[in-house]
Structure 1
Amino acid sequence: MASQFGLLLRQWRQRAGLSQEALAHRAAVGTRTVRGLETGERTDPRMGTVRALADALELTGAERVELFSAAGRDEPPVLEPARFDPLLETVETLKVAIEARWRREEEQRQVHDPVPLPVRWEAAPAALTDSRTNIGGEAALDGRLDQVVEVYRRVGSRRLVVLGRAGSGKTVLTTRFVLDLLGAHNPADPVPVIFGLGAWHPGRAGLRDWLAEQLTHDHPFLAAPGPGGGTLAAALVDSQRVLPVLDGFDEIAAGLHRAALNALNTTTLPLLLTSRVDEYRDAVEGTDVLTSAAAVVLADLTCDDLADYLPRTTRKTGPAGNVWKPVLDEVRCGGPLAQVLTTPLMVALARRIYSDTPDHDPAALLGLHEPDEIERHLLSSFIPAVYGSDTDRVRPWLGHLADHVTRLGMHDVAWWRFGTSSTVTGLAVGVVVGFADLVLEAVLIGGLITRGVLFAVMIGLVTGLLFGLAHRFAVRRTPLEPVRTRLRLRGRADRRVWSRGLLGVAFGGAVGAAYGLVRALAYWLATPGVVMTAGVLVDVVVFGLVFGLGAGLVFAVVAALEAPLDVRSAGSPDGLREANRRAVLGLVGMMVPVFAVFVIGATGIVASGLTALRFEVLWSPTTAFALGLVGGIGGGLAYVLSLTAWGQWVVFARVWLPLTGKLPWRLPAFLDDAYRRGVLRRAGAVYQFRHARLQEHLARSR
């Protein structure tokens, strides 16, 4: 049996990603020596061997002391001199943010009101766990909620799978794991961060890259440049300063579980993974277990657990004493209630409906005779218990949200994903650009004229059509996501800069050509007797060329200016949306003058060339500036509404969906209120429904 020294040696070797042969080579000792120490065949290593292994593994001072102590040596190891850690400040900032977030969430979910529901587990069947030799550590894995960190540390590989059925307490366990690990105040511990695996597509992004991307979503300051290139988020992941708590393996899209498990097995990252039992078992049967991972299964609540918890949640009484006594008597007799009230989810719903709501008697549960009927009753009664008389008003809105995220195949209620319809986007662009052009023409000309009205209507139609197509093309390639930017040019143009520049040339040229044609057509319709001439073709070519080059320049500059913005307040939905709004409006404020100046210069050059070719040209800097201003403002508005996440939020969440009655006009306040009532929860910069079961119920009953 391996000694404590052997277990530590195996654990730190696996953390370093080294084989026994590689460690032996680096430490200049024999491979048989390393193997013997890990298996316990050798129990008395020499001082020089211990020091060589500690040096090869690059152990910290505390880790070296622990290794020498396990070897039974009194002589202290030679400690390495303190080295500057470029990520130390980042790690500490992230720890504070993570702890504050999940402590608030735990309070919001009333986990400690009055006491946490008991969450216990036992070792999973052998078929779902790796061999003890690969895992290392102690054999005993049974435990309860307040022992989760202790049990995790018993696993030598630091890779643990937590299995349980829907509502069994996996989310409560991950939250408590994060807070307890942060509360240990051990500088050597990585920062535990919860990642919702439902958003991961293993075929599109490797695990490390996806983790770094998710970190920058929830903590934008981690998108800043890190040591050695890349971002701070990538540096934290690569140096194992972040401990991934991967919540919801079962929520990965259908058909991808085996691919996800294979992808997890390509890494040696310490982690904690949660999943429903069936989905994980199916993936294991189709591939293999999670390498070096132990597994536990969450246990059902018992009658004694309910008897200790439910009466403490209310002081309401009935003929027999506490109002929960008849229900508890029924549970002790077995039957459907005893089958349903075995998960923290169902108990929490029952508590919210009957303990926290006046005039609701839990005796109503006694009239239900099937487990499915009881579960549907609890799920359907939750919203009325929370909203009371407002239930009929808010239920359709919650149903639309649940159905929307379900159709997207996800659980995140993200403010930038409320809609992607190119038709609605084009309509919004057309209306806004047409109205803006009408106002600008009225200001510049000094009043409204028939030609101006006709031009505004036609340019609105054309711009709406073209930018609707641009939106469709853009979201097909890369879904629109929040932009965190500051005005700082990148070192060199990347693929996105060229792609956006070419998109600007194509659609800007189309808008310019349409502008020239519509301008002539509006003049012809508003002025009887005017004959269309070949000069219209010249206008189409000139405006198409100028607008195309100008839009290409502006789009490319906007893409090049995108750089990480150090916004620590953006870890909430409102904070991220506000940061994105400022960034987008700042970029548009840059686009308009750049486009206007380009149009003045470009049209001046073209006018000079046409004059030299003996064409009759009417041009002045004032006319060119007006043209550039109108085109810049109209193009800027079209860009915001069709090609930015914040613009899509405005179009769908603030106008279209409230206008069609699917969501309220004051959507941010509604989402925040649902969060405070416990219907939604926050997961960084997005909301999620309290539980996937509630989301499924609301989506079906819409």
Structure 2
Amino acid sequence: MGRVYELVAERLAGEPALRRVASGEEARRSLVRAVGEALARDAAFARRLDELLDGPLPFPGGAVISARDGSVAAWSIDSVHTHTHTHVAQTPLDRRAQALARQVLAQEEREWKRLVGGDLKPIDLAYTYLPEPGRNAGNAAERGRQVAARETVPDIAAYYRRITPRRLLITGAPGAGKTVLALDLMIALIRPPGEAAPRLPYEPVPVRLPLSGWDTDEPLRGHLTDRLIRAFGLSPAHARELVDERRILPVLDGLDEMDPPLPDGTPDPAAPRARAVLSALNDYQDGLQAAPVILLCRTGHYEVLRDGPLRDATRVEIAPVAPDDARAYLTDRAKDPARWEPLLRALRDEPDGTLARFLSTPWRLCLTATVYEAGGDPAGLLGFATPAALDAHLLARYVPAATRLRARPGYPAERVHAWLHRLARQMDDEGHPDIQLHRLWPLPGRKRVCVADGRVATALCALGTPFALLAPTPDRTAAALLMVLTSALFTSWTVVHENVNPPFVLHLRLLLSVPHRRGRAVAGAAASVALGLGYGLFYGYAEADRWAGLALGLGLGAALAGVLVLGSGFLTGLVGPPPRAASPRDGVLDDAFRGLLGGLCFGGGAGILFADRGGWAYGMAEGVSWGIGMALTLGAAGRRYAVFTLCARRDGLLPLRLGAFLDWACEAGLMRLSGPAYQFRHGELQRWLAEHPPGAVPSPSSPPPASAQESTVS
């Protein structure tokens, strides 16, 4: 028996789950499950165990494992999974990971539905294993499917679970469905189909990170930690603990977006940022093993990086969508099958033709289904001779079709196209696919926005002038006007600078949901009370009638303390990440609220102090002007965004409620969410919009150009 246990120990030595469990019953259950999984996915291990066994293998505590056919005699894997979920006490780290998993699941399920066009029956993508030079992960199947597992073909979750180590590289052509496949895998890892419990406590939580925003000078650990803090509301300590304990499974999307292409549009072989990412991932370890990771990249971009590949990983290449699968997808989406019959017949009869090759990616199938969902004749596509002509025809009709299907007052197709054209041009100029609201302000012109920002600040600070004119004496009026002017000049000088810090994130629920923030709020409130009452005691002691002065001073001090508690106490307790997955709009909105709260605090305190010395009018003048100045300074990102939207709306560049428009564009399938940023639904759509202002686009009802009608599908 010694050789049997030695073989099992050798096979399971690298299992991360077994290194994290305690002794006793939990260890026994985890061991049973790990052996069962190893037997099920590793035929060589099962054969070697069979050679040593003439019967079942007993484990301490009564568990019995049989190597025959890779089965578990004492408990099935599913039973162990459920039993572990039900009876094993979870640690605080387990509970935090489970809470994070729920947030990720809610966010990614919404995004998955958007990307598949609201259709709950997506294309069942196929993929094949491509061995790479050097070290590959073990136990990889030759092929797999996205969802519909066959007897000998695993679905994406089963495929991923069987590879060792669990490092997966997904490559494919543009629009091949890499992101949808990764989202499907993430959802299945968090909530396996048919399971009541979402996941085992010790399993890592998949978290999607867009690579375009990673400063590669920052370690991967720091990038993961920052993502958890900003996007999911974790405290820095909790985020670092999850990352250090390898409870996070990084899902890195957009390696091909890290570096600009060469002038001819081909991938740059140098690609310094992409190579830095691969180097960081090769150094990313869990103990003595390569740590789990999922990486997405376009095939052409990864091919030029193969001299420095991702090590210890399994690379799968997404196959083109077969004509039969394309026909099934379009048939399911068709509301009027007879209208689609000529196109479906062409896909059946010409499986190698231009149309079949064109409709071999999920993006182009979704594009076609959307364009013709509300009307038109899909048979018109048969008259195009080249994929480029088909692309141009469909992209010119995509925005009007999506706008019509998700109609909303104030969003006519022409305006939507113009607004998206402006955003696409801006993203092309920046060389960055992420649309972050606080970074858009240069779009109408840097100087224009900065000057407008200064004018708005000056006008708002001058709102204290009427109160200054009500002061009881001329000298008080002059002093109040001087203070108002000083506040206006100082604030306008502060806000006209081009550099604006990223927005702070603020959320009232933090006081109720995050204990360490409640402590910070209490500390801020206590300091405010001490400051206010200290001022009151000092004021009272300085008066001639000390008892009367002391009473008045304590009253003023209590009022000042109340204002400061409202402001600084909340600010101290609330500044930080939100307790849920962040929306791209949260940053600028919360930053503006932070400025408002800080302005109330500062302005109220200043008003009380100045009213004590110069009367209520004097105090109101100073409180209003300095409070507004502080609000504009603290809420810099929110203020600059508001001024930018006013300028852009006045120039007809963008809608006034830009965030609401971009949220609608995500629902309409024109944009997508990528963490705390928006992106165009597809890079091909972004490039087309950047190159085609509304006036350069043919009418959606125009017939195909004569040059495109040279032949039928061949």
- Normalising by structure 1, we get a TM-score of 0.70
Distance (whole Å) between structure 2 residues aligned to residue 572 and residue 391 of structure 1: 25
Cα pair distance change 1:458/1:566, threshold 3 Å: closer
Q: Structure 1 residue 466 and structure 2 residue 458: aligned?
A: no
Cα pair distance change 1:84/1:98, threshold 3 Å: closer
The aligned counterpart of 1:76 is: 60
Letter in 2 for 1:583: R
**Structure 1 segment 591-610 matched on structure 2, within 5 A:** 591-595=602-606
The aligned counterpart of 2:244 is: 238
Letter in 1 for 2:494: F
Identity level (%): 26
The aligned counterpart of 1:508 is: none
**Structure 1 segment 166-565 matched on structure 2, within 5 A:** 166-184=174-192, 185-187=198-200, 188-203=202-217, 205-220=218-233, 222=234, 224=235, 230-254=236-260, 255-268=272-285, 269-285=291-307, 288-318=308-338, 322-329=341-348, 331-332=350-351, 334-354=352-372, 356-358=373-375, 360-388=376-404, 390-420=412-442, 423-446=447-470, 462-463=489-490, 466-468=493-495, 471-472=497-498, 474-475=499-500, 479-480=502-503, 482=505, 561=572, 564-565=575-576
Letter in 2 for 1:568: P
8 Å CA contact retained: 1:105, 1:682: yes
Gapped regions of structure 2 (runs ≥ 5) = 1-5, 40-48, 50-55, 64-83, 148-154, 193-197, 261-271, 286-290, 405-410, 512-516, 522-563, 694-714
8 Å CA contact retained: 2:228, 2:239: yes
Using the TM superposition, name which of 110-119 and 684-693 deviates more.
110-119
Instruction: Choose which of 105, 113, 121 in structure 2 pairs with 1:99.
Output: 105
Cα pair distance change 1:125/1:202, threshold 3 Å: same
Deviation at 1:323, TM superposition (A): 4.6
8 Å CA contact retained: 2:503, 2:587: no
Instruction: Choose which of 631, 642, 646 in structure 2 pairs with 1:650.
Output: 642
Cα pair distance change 1:180/1:634, threshold 3 Å: closer
Cα pair distance change 1:200/1:74, threshold 3 Å: same
Letter in 2 for 1:302: A
Distance (whole Å) between structure 2 residues aligned to residue 293 and residue 330 of structure 1: 39
Deviation at 1:404, TM superposition (A): 2.3
8 Å CA contact retained: 1:190, 1:241: yes
Cα pair distance change 1:67/1:340, threshold 3 Å: closer
2:92 partner SS: coil
Deviation at 1:277, TM superposition (A): 1.5
Distance (whole Å) between structure 1 residues aligned to residue 146 and residue 580 of structure 2: 31
The aligned counterpart of 1:633 is: 627
Distance (whole Å) between structure 2 residues aligned to residue 455 and residue 54 of structure 1: 69
Give per-residue Cα distances to partners, 1:120-142, cap 9 Å, x unaligned: 11112423xx424xx23x14241
Cα pair distance change 1:325/1:339, threshold 3 Å: closer
Gapped regions of structure 1 (runs ≥ 5) = 17-52, 225-229, 492-552, 602-618
Letter in 2 for 1:190: P
Distance (whole Å) between structure 2 residues aligned to residue 570 and residue 307 of structure 1: 37
Instruction: Choose which of 667, 671, 675 in structure 2 pairs with 1:680.
Output: 671
Deviation at 1:63, TM superposition (A): 2.8
Letter in 2 for 1:267: Y
The aligned counterpart of 1:511 is: none
Distance (whole Å) between structure 2 residues aligned to residue 7 and residue 293 of structure 1: 18
Letter in 1 for 2:60: P
Using the TM superposition, name which of 587-596 and 304-313 deviates more.
587-596
Give per-residue Cα distances to partners, 1:491-527, cap 9 Å, x unaligned: 9xxxxxxxxxxxxxxxxxxxxxxxxxxxxxxxxxxxx
The aligned counterpart of 1:585 is: 596
Cα pair distance change 1:126/1:432, threshold 3 Å: closer
The aligned counterpart of 1:689 is: 680
Deviation at 1:264, TM superposition (A): 1.4
Letter in 1 for 2:180: V
The aligned counterpart of 1:160 is: 168
8 Å CA contact retained: 2:595, 2:631: no
Deviation at 1:598, TM superposition (A): 7.5
Deviation at 1:438, TM superposition (A): 3.6
The aligned counterpart of 1:117 is: 123
Cα pair distance change 1:378/1:120, threshold 3 Å: same
8 Å CA contact retained: 1:161, 1:273: yes
Cα pair distance change 1:6/1:699, threshold 3 Å: farther
Cα pair distance change 1:54/1:99, threshold 3 Å: closer
2:58 partner SS: coil
Cα pair distance change 1:339/1:309, threshold 3 Å: same
8 Å CA contact retained: 1:352, 1:385: yes
Cα pair distance change 1:377/1:112, threshold 3 Å: same
Cα pair distance change 1:399/1:166, threshold 3 Å: same
Q: Structure 1 residue 669 and structure 2 residue 645: aligned?
A: no
Cα pair distance change 1:461/1:600, threshold 3 Å: closer
- Normalising by structure 2, we get a TM-score of 0.69
Cα pair distance change 1:317/1:479, threshold 3 Å: closer
Deviation at 1:482, TM superposition (A): 4.1
8 Å CA contact retained: 2:371, 2:398: yes
Deviation at 1:162, TM superposition (A): 0.6
8 Å CA contact retained: 2:592, 2:638: yes
1:10 partner SS: coil
Letter in 2 for 1:367: G
Deviation at 1:557, TM superposition (A): 7.9
Deviation at 1:209, TM superposition (A): 0.9
Cα pair distance change 1:325/1:453, threshold 3 Å: farther
The total of aligned residue pairs comes to 559
8 Å CA contact retained: 1:141, 1:151: no
The aligned counterpart of 2:32 is: 65
Deviation at 1:296, TM superposition (A): 0.9
Distance (whole Å) between structure 2 residues aligned to residue 436 and residue 352 of structure 1: 47
1:243 partner SS: strand
